[in-house]
Chain A
Amino acid sequence: MSDPFAAILTLDGLSVRLPPGADRPHALSNVSLSIAADEILCVVGESGSGKSMTASAIMQLLPNGVSIDGGRVMFEGRDLAAATAAEMRSVRGAGIAMIFQEPMTALNPLRTIGDQIGEMFSIHSELSRAAIRARVLALLEDVRIPDPKAAARAYPHELSGGQRQRAMIAMALALDPKVLIADEPTTALDVTTQAQILKLIRDLQTRKKTAVLFITHDFGVVAEIADRVAVMQQGSIVEQGDTASILNHPQHPYTKQLIAAVPPLTSPPPRELSDDAILTIDNVSKTYRTGGFLGRGARVTPAVKNVSLKLPRGATLGIVGESGSGKSTLARCLVRLIDPDTGSIVLEGKDWAKMTREDVRRETRHIQMVFQDPFASLNPRRKAGDLVAQGPIVHGTPPAKALADAKELFALVGLDPSASDRFPHEFSGGQRQRIGLARALALHPEVLVADEAVSALDVSVQAQVLQLLAGLRQRLGLSIVFITHDLRVAAQICDLVAVMKDGEVVEQGLAADVFGRPQHPYTRALLDSIPGGDFARKHEAPSFAR
């Protein structure tokens, strides 16, 4: 534990009240934390645990109707919970700075990066314009943006996600704040970019001796960056201590449960695979063309380039890659939400790439898809039972029978069958994903395409859904195409893995081989970038029904 006298920011019994009608009376109850200069404190918890609310409470940026109703936020001898709006303005940015999850929405799209960073100085200091420009360039160099001069002139949309986050960090660090609050700063980034940003935050923190309050849901990130950890559940801190002891000897049952749910990198022993391929993807390409007139000035983006893959019957084929690698486009080609330009997709002797729309509509029960976003993928105006029964009804099953079958499917995916007449918004994220799964299974498909199906879920829920998927694969003889950006998830459930980069498959093979002895440099880079890699490798694999 750190010396309490060196603490620079102290939360003392902080409570934050939620408006009446929320799921619990307090967003935070009796939270006590302290951060010393020159340390990184990670606050971990699942969604709804109150970890982001902690950051908002410190900065006095609570949403309407939510207010602090007890405790103190001590910073530089002052209680921020009682500070006036004017006092807070001088603290924000200069004393305590913040970086957010999504840099695209945190930056003003109509002003250049240089302008926005320079604004920090023009608000809080009397520097001349030339001096500000020099400072901005120095900051951009500090955060190692390639070509700082060009970056200062660029608008947010002209930078990549990682560069935008670097710009945000530059902005946050402009006035050498004592405390930096980072609210899930790498969650929206690709794994290789995430590794770079984490390293950058670590480096800057060591050099500037800033205290960092790092909010995350990912124990891998914790293992990578934290000096100390505080675990939050339901608005209270259930356990805190230094990183090594929390990760290796967690005391509280909730911490134990969270750490057990972290997907390990070690893939389980390989299963016997059938020689019979149920789905054969051969030389599939898809190119997007936008704009242009009569063939001139068009932008051509090859999203998928000559991809050939085989899915053995009863196996799970993982397609991993970062954003923009074409993995989602490929998934949508498989179910013909997108028409591929060339190549063939042979399922049960029929070439899906060349079928007419009407044929696809009729044959669609052979291959079904589970979508990423559990909130967007269910029609909010239909009851859960109707959502599941929809598919069979479209294909001619009498509605009464389809609804009865839907109840059985509810039981199959681990939901209460009596919940079938509730609306989607009455379910949690994990439960919604189960409804999505039941909807796909209602047509008794042979192949299931899961597009980032567990990416939006908390780790403990993620583990449950993966377990369910593995169990269903066994019981129903499903073959699965599993698309994910998370190599840890892929390692657990996939028999075969294909790594995609810029629309091409750069490496494919048995999961154990690809993860154990990666051949392609890109695969190696991906594996090295996994946050807390050593921690993940040591970690025991949960026993999935295999």
Chain B
Amino acid sequence: MDAVKRYFRSPAAVFGLVLLLIVVAMAVSASWIYPREPLALAGRPLIWPFSNPRFLLGTDNSGRDIAAQIFYGARISLLIGGVATAIAIAIGVLIGAFAGFYGGWVDNVLMRITEAFQTLPNFVLLLVLVAVFGSTLTTVTIAVGVVSWPAPARLTRAEFLSLRNREFVQAGRTLGMRDLQLILGEILPNALPPVIVYASVVMAVAILLESALAFLRLSDPNVASWGNLIGLGRDVLRVQWYVSAIPGIAILVTVLAVSLVGQGLNDALNPRLKGR
């Protein structure tokens, strides 16, 4: 509970949490505030924001309500961010834990594979995966998760390397624990805090990766996402710049919120590192 208290002592962390809660509230209330299909035609195309009370944030080049797309897009961004992060952390922790705990050839093999993934620019890898498996929401989410695991894997491995020879792990061994009990029960809980903090970075990157895909019109076109809206706005960027700018601000705010929360978690979970 100390960690919670420390978290709320930092104004930046609380600000991040408030922003994140606003985004979550948008996602939750989307279908209640905008009961109509967000991708349906709603009015004249390219209405400027604040000029028509029916479309507070204006309309895009095909006459769809931008505000509705922003609200529904929050769902997609959070969904992709959350699920892809879960996938990346799960793969990363699994590989990092085994590599760090067993060392030797297991470590060598797993780390060479990790490096192979790391040397490829992950966006290029993402493009390849989407090109091969198609761009539905499911494949995009899984693909973003699959390209994001190497960094958490290295982090977990480093934690395991430093923890596996601690006396409390040796004590567990002399008590007769199996390797799996040592990994899950003894080492993992102690290795997890930095990984949880890093998850916020992975989530921010996952949201950006999806937007980048959508900007290239390679994401799922059948859902209202911020990236798709930016991609559409590209055609009218010179004059009706707001079509791209509004979802851009939404992405900026979300990523900022996630990183502030991550930084706050870091300070709360590792209080001794703060103030250095």
Contact = CB atoms under 8 A, between A and B. Distances in A.
Interface of A: 64, 332, 335, 337, 360-362, 364-365, 368-369, 371-373, 376-381, 390-391, 394-395, 436, 439-440, 443
Contacts of B173: 337
Contact of A381 (B167, B178, B190, B275): B190
B181 interface: yes
Contacts of A364: 174-176
Contact of A369 (B174, B178, B190): B174
Contacts of A391: 175-176
Contacts of B175: 364, 368, 390-391, 394, 439, 443
A362 B170 CA distance: 16
B186 interface: yes
Nearest first, the 7 A-B pairs at minimum CB distance are A377-B167, A391-B175, A364-B176, A371-B167, A376-B167, A379-B168, A381-B189
Which of B167, B177, B186 counts the most chain A CB atoms within 10 A?
Answer: B167
B116 interface: no
16 contacts: A368-B174, A369-B170, A369-B171, A371-B167, A376-B168, A378-B171, A379-B172, A379-B186, A379-B190, A380-B168, A381-B189, A391-B175, A394-B177, A394-B181, A439-B171, A443-B176
A369 B170 CA distance: 10
Interface of B: 166-168, 170-178, 181, 186, 189-190, 275
A394 B174 CA distance: 11
A310 B84 CA distance: 59
A242 to B, nearest CB: 42
Nearest to A424: B168
B172 A335 contact: no
B104 to A, nearest CB: 13
A436 B167 CA distance: 11
Given A365-B176, A373-B167, A376-B166, 15 more contacts: A335-B174, A360-B176, A362-B176, A364-B175, A371-B167, A372-B167, A378-B168, A378-B171, A379-B190, A380-B168, A391-B175, A394-B176, A394-B181, A395-B176, A439-B171
Nearest to B168: A379
Contacts of A361: 176-178
A438 to B, nearest CB: 12
Contacts of B189: 379, 381
A71 B168 CA distance: 44
B55 to A, nearest CB: 53
A440 B175 CA distance: 8
Nearest to A370: B171
B164 to A, nearest CB: 12
B176 to A, nearest CB: 4
Contacts of B166: 376
A337 to B, nearest CB: 6
A376 B189 CA distance: 15
Nearest to A386: B185
A377 B168 contact: yes
A371 to B, nearest CB: 4
Nearest to A64: B275
Nearest to B175: A391
B94 to A, nearest CB: 20
B204 to A, nearest CB: 28
A436 B175 CA distance: 12
A394 B166 CA distance: 20
Contacts of A376: 166-168
Contacts of A395: 176
Contacts of B167: 371-373, 376-377
B171 A436 contact: yes
A259 B171 CA distance: 34
A377 B176 contact: no
A337 B174 contact: yes
Contacts of B181: 394
Contacts of A381: 189-190
A390 B172 contact: yes
A336 B84 CA distance: 42
A443 B186 CA distance: 19
